Amino acid sequence: MNNQKLDSANASPTKEFFVNMITKDISLEDSILDLIDNSIDAAKHSSGSQPMTLGSQIDLSQYTISIKLSSNSFIIVDNCGGMTLDNAIKHAFSFGRKPGIEPEQYGIGVYGIGMKRAAFKLGRDITVRSTYVEGNRIRQSFKVPIDVEEWLKSKIQSWDFDIVEAEDMEENGVEIQVRNLTSAAKNALANPAFVQNLRRMLARDYSLYLNKGLNLIVNGERISGLHLEFAGSEEFVPMRISYNGLQNGDEIFVEMIGGMAAPPPDSTEPDEKQNSDKRFGWYIACNGRIVLAADKTEVSGWGTTNWPQWHRQYAGFMGIVLFSAYNTAALPLTTTKRSVDLTSDVYKTAQVKMRDLTKEWINYTNERKQALDAAKEKEARAKAIPIQQVENRESIALPKLPAVKPVERPANVQYSVPVKRMKRLAGELGNINLPYREVGLRSFEYTYEDLVGEE
């Protein structure tokens, strides 16, 4: 054998692959977030490309990203500065970032795939319009109309999209209009639950930007950023550390905060309220964008070596890790920005510290079971502290609880009644939202006092 070449195997990608296949790997919500990421990168660029750390003084209040959703169209408009014609010709519409082209400094768009994938996911009739100011201070505009079906049918091998003249937008920025929606998009954008859940997702995943003044509007309603807060007192003090990590030679600034966000539940039994512990767990942010939220899975480390699986007993814990990097490619991001790259060195290093912090909380919740009254008294004294105001501290502080043996043998009671009757009784006891357990205890105390009286 002399390795003589016989022929070559065709490895060229197809248009169909980009339109119909890679769109399967991302949710509709994350596609929309990809478009918002581009607008935020433009806003950050316009305001000087500063890192998005907790101490960042960046002011984004002059920037607005507005989204309109309906069963017929998806429109996103921003006033974040616009995309230049040169950028559109050379980079923005290519599939994947070209070698030698650096991503936005401290940005969140990194793979050069987000806008196209998002638009293909949403519909078949796409128009991207931009108004921007060139170096000569003259406003210029162009648009890129994309008829996806025609583009797919086109026999010409070229993958290029035509760029044509366009009227100026009101402010410098980018507008993306998608019509002829895919059936999935048509169904979702008309679904009130989808729209409300999208609002919740935006409030959470862009909370750091929204709390820096960014205006994000969905169907005319402004999104308020979720305020991530810890509960602190003399005895409950969250941990806050920061350090510089390295990923393939790129420096990454890492900030980690963790502690009690709310008292743990009194009972570890599942309760009737769905998702009552949904805000607890680990949050990971990359250049300010939350990519993993309230995680209780192996992605953050739960259930991996030396780290127990999530249990309702641990509810009340919240931890946040923020990775900030000049070179976005160094961040532990996946292409969908809905998880982290578990092979990332800088993430692996952080996970060790995350685990140690989590274990401190797990130990506390174990001790708490033996001294519930003392623990609840101490927890009730804790006050809310916004994450920005948490002070630097190498480790979490939690109270030491004395183990108290129960003086009397308890009787556990379990019974079933119709929900409608339970809710009526809760209402009569003063609050229709009382947990069933609390209704049971209060009605026992009420009956006991009435029938048995003082002991």
Which residues would be at the binding site for another protein (CB under 8 A)?
187-188, 190-194, 196-197, 199-200, 203, 224, 273, 419-420, 423, 427, 430-433
Q: How many other β-carbons are positioned within 10 Å of the β-carbon of residue 381?
A: 13
Report the alpha-carbon distance of residue 224 to residue 447 in Å, rounded. 46
* Nearest C-alpha neighbor of 361 from the set 379, 339, 387: 379
Query: Rounded CA gap, 109 and 105, in Å?
Result: 10
Closest listed residue to residue 169, CA positions, set 66, 94, 269: 66
* Smallest separation, CB 121 to another protein (Å): 16
Q: How far is the CB of 198 from another protein (least distance, A)?
A: 10
- Please tell me whether residue 336 adopts helix, strand or coil conformation: coil
User: Which is closer to another protein, CB of 229 or CB of 235?
Assistant: 229
CB of 275 to another protein, least distance (A): 10
CA distance 96 to 107: 16
Residue number, 48 or 430, with CB nearest to another protein: 430
Residue with Cβ nearer another protein (196 or 267): 196
**Closer to another protein by Cβ: residue 9 or 193:** 193
The least CB distance from residue 424 to another protein, in Å, is: 9
- b/e 143-167 (16+ beta carbons within 10 angstroms → b): bbebebeebeeeeeeeeebebeebe
Print the SS3 string covering 182-211: CHHHHHHHCCHHHHHHHHHHHHHHCHHHHC
Q: How many Cβ atoms from other residues are within 10 Å of residue 319's Cβ?
A: 26
- Rounded least distance, CB 433 to another protein, Å: 5
* Residue 302 to residue 298: CA distance in whole angstroms: 5
Q: Nearest distance from residue 125's CB to another protein, in Å?
A: 19
State the Cα angle at 309 between 308 and 315, rounded to 5°: 100
Q: Give the nearest distance from C-beta 419 to another protein in angstroms.
A: 5
**Of 89 and 419, which has the nearer Cβ to another protein?**
419
By C-beta, is 200 or 381 nearer to another protein? 200
Nearer to another protein, 187 or 366 (CB): 187
